[in-house]
Amino acid sequence: MVVCPLETPETLHVTPERDSLSYLGIGTALAVTLLVSVGAGYWIDKRFGTAPVFVLAGAAFGMFAVFYHLYKAYKAVTGGKS
């Protein structure tokens, strides 16, 4: 039975392309988070006829979620150090 070794930093070939893909994934997640939050606020405003109240609330929530996601990503990269 052949067991594959765990990937270690020595066995991983970090290339600029692989490194940039991780940043692309983070950027996409942040954009989707903000767009979904604002979109949900827009939908609620249209449904209940409340001017820009829920769009603004969705934008605020989305921005909070984006900053929280960035904070978690920063902690993961730095190993929990400030």
Q: Write down the domain spans for the chain.
A: 32-78
Q: What is the pLDDT of residue 7?
A: 55
Distance CA 65, CA 52 (A): 20
Q: What is the pLDDT of residue 1?
A: 46
Counting as low any pLDDT under 50, the low residues of the chain are 1
Burial code of 64-76, b = ≥16 C-beta within 10 A, e = fewer?
ebbeeeeeeeeee
pLDDT at 33: 95
User: What is the identity of the amino acid at 29?
Assistant: A
Q: In this structure, what token pair is assigned to residue 10? A: 């020595």
> Which residue, chain included where needed, has tokens 């603004």?
56
